[in-house]
Chain A
Amino acid sequence: MRRPHDHLPLRPVEALLLTMLASGDRHGYGLRQDILDHTGGQIELEPGNLYRHIRRLETIGALEEAGRGTSPDDDDRRIYYRLTPFGRRVLTLEMQRLRALVRLAEDRRIIVPARS
């Protein structure tokens, strides 16, 4: 088994996908809509592209099938995906890596430091 940081850096879309899954299980189309909303419509994933990313993330063990939705009232039987503990670690490491990068850019005054 490879270690989490062997998978860094993540591709931007994959980081986005894991981020969306971090707040709950999603089906494929839900992932697309979430990403659309959070990127101001910039990233519009179509099925082939999306599932290739899912395939990659599933191969490295960052996400897994959560089974089919079982909500009895809305007939929702779609395939959901869930973030694995391993995936959460990969995502955390990726975000830390990005934070370090942002800090560096702030120090060098490439961007104005964010107030926190």
Chain B
Amino acid sequence: MSAPAPGERLFRRLLRLYPKTFRDRYGTGMVEFYRDRRLAVPDRPGARARLWLRLIADTLLSSVAEHLSSEPRPVAGGRRKDGTMETLLQDLRGAIRGLARAPSFTGVVLVTLALGIGANAAIFSALEAVLFRPLPYRHAERTMVLWNGGSVEGTYTAVAAPEYFDYKEQLETFDNVAALRPQSATILGAEGDPERLSAYTVTPNIFELLGTESALGRSFRTGDGIPGGELVVVLSDGLWRRRFGGDPAVIGRQVNVAGLPRTVIGIMPSGVRFPDAPLDWLREPADLWIPSTLEQLRGDERGNQNLAVLARRAEGVSQAQVDADLGMLSGRFRSQWPDRYGKGAAQNWRIVSFSLQDQMVGSVKLALFVISSAVGVVLLIVCVNVANLLLARGALKRRDVAVRMALGAGRPRLVRQMLTESLVLGLGGGGLGLLLAWVGTPLLVRLSGGNIPRLEGAGMSIEVIGFSFGVSLLTGIGVGLIPALQQSRTELRSAMGEGSRGASDGIDRRRFRSALVAAQVAMALVILVAAGLLGRSFAALLKVDPGFSPDGVLALKLAIPRAKYDSAVKVISFYRRLAEQVASLPGVESAATIYPLPMGGDGWSGSLDVEGAPENPAPHAEYNVTSPGYFKTMRIPLQAGREFGPDDAQGMPNVAIVDDHFARKYWPAESPLGKRINVRGGPNDWITIVGVVGHVYRAGRSEAGEPQLYLPHAQYVQTQMVLVARASNGNAAGLASAVRSGLKEIDPELPSTRMHAAAELADKTLAPQRFNALLIGIFALVALGLASVGLYGVMSYLVAQRTREIGIRLALGGQPGDVRRMVLRESLAISLSGLAVGGIVSLAVSRLLTGLLFGVSPTDAATYTGIAVLLLLVAGIASYGPARRATRVDPVTALRN
């Protein structure tokens, strides 16, 4: 018989919660029930989560009820009386009854544990979805992504078609190599409005390489995508349902995509949208795929690098062999084309490879690691708090324990009883925590703003439930062990003899509890420092002047079909007319076109020649193509020379504008006006610089980026542009419908779906930092709250313990102020030792944060001091109450007792 599925294993484990007799009798039937039930549940995460939530809730409620039930159970043949089991049940019943008798204690502990475990479960569900869950492709494990390595370690660029063919034909450690590139495409047809889609041109072997088949019809096969062959297309499940209502008859039909009619041959399964998560600049999940063998590009320029390449490692090949293979081909490239590979800027060039999974989620690993560490520390603080509460409760129960020991209960039994109680608390808190995570995870996904790849898959899963169960068990044992061991050591005579005076703990125990709280302060400091550093980074980012003003600007991304706009003149005149039309709309202050939009998600850079500058390293710059009026629209300051005008057209002298970084880099001492550059490389392609503008942060505020270069669209034609329009009243959204109808007048077939307020797009570039800072900030506040509660509790306890001592002091003429100071001093000593330890730990671990910080050092003194002062203040407030209470001790009462 094969091993049961993970779900069934979990269910079987759940069954152990029932009394043994019940389980023996009905376990088999319940497992059969589970199998049928599981089969009937659709394979959606939501449905599965619901099933498990129901099953777990059902098991918890029924098993507890069954344990407490006094009704007789039917006796199966040959029932043995299981001594251990009986004791365990007794302990369990005792624990539940005992906890029910102290509802406020139980409530506080359960809520605290639920917070800690719930936060961990929610973050774990994110980790699971992003990092652990395999990609939905059979061969994902063996799939690698290949790039051209850049001059700086860790940088890389796309691959040119001839390079792809060399990889495919010459690499020996891969059994399949495919290429893809984004293709902007609009779909037209009677079934709906024109819609701009995320399409990819792919080599027809791509799905076979990944290991996935079509759900309907067929996916690509050899013979598809050959130049001059039949034009075909494969749709994603989402597009098929959205646009074609999930009609299977769409197979074989022609749809107009990217300007040409193409036959739909297949629909992929719903999970497949390759690239599902960003492959560097291939950001959007696909709506459809268009096949191309790329044969027509075999003889293309090697500088025309616009492909992403996937390669599948052959079975049984090691990473070392792959590296050697790539190294060999790199060497061959270098000797064959020394100018391109291996000289100057390309000195460190080589073919680099990443695993597909790393490529897709590698960028968020650090942030997730930091967040999960923080949440782990929060759980530790929770544990300390609960352990302290249990210790306090233990002190109250000391006489009870002593009586039981006197009546002959052995120490192991007592330890077990107490452990059972903390386990019940752990599991109860875990159950509540799971509910919390169930509610919290969607919020987490929303908070991330779509910036963490694959996070939308986060939610309840068997893994998350199992994880929470494990954490709850560990927590239950962890928080219970110390009090249980301490308590059972209670000496009979002293506990009983102390009678009604109340148990006064030994010095050891007091020290121990103080140390626990000091540890809490230390842990809180570590999280608070992390939060402080991330918060300061975020503030520093906000202060960066991006060099342009996106507020009040509406942006419309467009890509016009080459099939319809088949000449430069048509493309130029379309965009000119559009900008003019929109600029003349009421409410529009100015309008222009640009590519790429700053902070709009796209980038474009390349090398060029600068007259008089050395060829090595080759000058490199961020490119922009724009129309007259752009700098005014985006409020980018013109520092010298002039803007582009209507005369900068085809047939006129070629002109360019550079930014101040460019000017300073190549002509530090002179004016760049009148200097020449060459981007196309031909002897007659020299371009004269006519203006200098301010630098713009194009990729986001955290990166200044390279020097920048602007070319007039009328002289550097391309079909993909972004229309920008500034609203005269500052309200970008108010322009939307006017701009939409303006576009419709010029070309009713163009979709206006990619319309955004530029400020929103710019804001999105801050989302990862905001997510990190906010999340760690929330955890830090929780940590601070928990630590102060812990401190308050322990100080109250210490004061209560010393009531007699304080009474004597007061009776002998001690001043209330002295007593108050004594208590505060003690609290200060605890906090300071915590701060010292926490400070050292923070200094040691904050370096790990470096990759997430901006404009602040991981050892930033101001942050450390500020946080330490904050913690001391909170500690002072937390111990002020107990200190005051100490001064109100009535000497007479204290002494009489």
Query: Which A residues lie at the B interface, using CB under 8 A?
Result: 27-29, 32, 44, 46-52, 54-56, 58-59, 78-79
Contact = CB atoms under 8 A, between A and B. Distances in A.
Contact of A29 (B22, B37, B54, B72): B37
A32 B26 contact: no
B168 to A, nearest CB: 49
22 contacts: A27-B33, A28-B29, A28-B30, A28-B32, A29-B36, A32-B33, A46-B54, A47-B37, A47-B58, A48-B59, A49-B58, A49-B61, A51-B30, A52-B62, A52-B65, A52-B66, A55-B74, A56-B71, A59-B71, A78-B32, A79-B29, A79-B32
B467 interface: no
B34 interface: yes
B32 A48 contact: no
A52 B65 CA distance: 9
A46 B562 CA distance: 60
A80 to B, nearest CB: 9
B32 A46 contact: no
Interface string B44-78: 00000000001101110111011000011110000
A78 B37 CA distance: 14
Contacts of A58: 74
A83 to B, nearest CB: 16
A32 B30 CA distance: 12
Contacts of B25: 55
A59 B72 CA distance: 7
Interface of B: 18, 22, 25-26, 28-30, 32-34, 36-37, 54-55, 57-59, 61-63, 65-66, 71-74
A46 B66 contact: no
**Chain B CB within 10 A, most for which of A28, A29, A48, A59:** A48
Given A48-B58, A48-B61, A48-B63, 19 more contacts: A28-B30, A47-B34, A47-B37, A47-B55, A47-B59, A48-B62, A48-B66, A49-B58, A49-B61, A50-B33, A51-B22, A51-B29, A51-B33, A54-B29, A55-B26, A55-B74, A58-B74, A59-B73, A79-B29
User: Secondary structure of the B side of the interface?
Assistant: helix
Contact of A27 (B29, B61, B72): B29
Nearest to B51: A46
A12 to B, nearest CB: 17
A6 to B, nearest CB: 14
7 smallest beta-carbon distances between A and B, as pairs: A48-B62, A46-B58, A29-B36, A28-B33, A47-B30, A51-B26, A48-B58
A72 to B, nearest CB: 18
A59 B59 contact: no
A65 to B, nearest CB: 9
B462 to A, nearest CB: 17
Contact of A49 (B22, B29, B62, B72): B62
Contacts of A59: 71-74
A29 B72 CA distance: 25
A10 to B, nearest CB: 15
Nearest to A44: B54
B58 A29 contact: no
Contacts of B34: 47
A46 B55 contact: yes
A47 B33 contact: yes
Contacts of A79: 28-29, 32
A73 to B, nearest CB: 18
Nearest to B31: A47
A59 B66 CA distance: 14
**Chain B CB within 10 A, most for which of A49, A50, A55, A58:** A55
Nearest to A59: B74
Contacts of B18: 48
A29 B73 contact: no
Nearest to B65: A52
A55 B30 CA distance: 12
A13 B59 CA distance: 18
Contacts of A48: 18, 30, 58-59, 61-63, 66
A100 B55 CA distance: 38
A64 to B, nearest CB: 9
Contacts of A28: 29-30, 32-33
Contacts of B59: 47-48
A29 B32 contact: yes
Nearest to B64: A48
A14 to B, nearest CB: 13
Contacts of B28: 79
Contacts of A49: 58, 61-62
Contacts of B72: 59
A13 to B, nearest CB: 13
Contacts of A55: 22, 25-26, 66, 73-74
A79 B30 CA distance: 10
Nearest to B66: A52
Nearest to A80: B29
A73 B650 CA distance: 81
Contacts of B74: 55, 58-59
Nearest to A56: B71
A29 B35 CA distance: 9
B730 to A, nearest CB: 54
A5 B61 CA distance: 29
Nearest to B11: A47
Contacts of A27: 29, 32-33
A104 B72 CA distance: 36
A59 B57 CA distance: 25
Nearest to A31: B33
Nearest to B75: A59
A47 B37 CA distance: 9
A44 B71 CA distance: 24
Contacts of A78: 29, 32
A48 B30 CA distance: 8
Contacts of B58: 46-49
**Chain B CB within 10 A, most for which of A46, A47, A49, A58:** A47
A29 B38 CA distance: 11
B73 A54 contact: no
A59 B63 CA distance: 17
A44 B72 CA distance: 26
Contacts of B66: 48, 52, 55
A54 B55 contact: no
Given A27-B32, A46-B58, A54 B71 contact: no
Contacts of A29: 32-33, 36-37
A18 B28 CA distance: 21
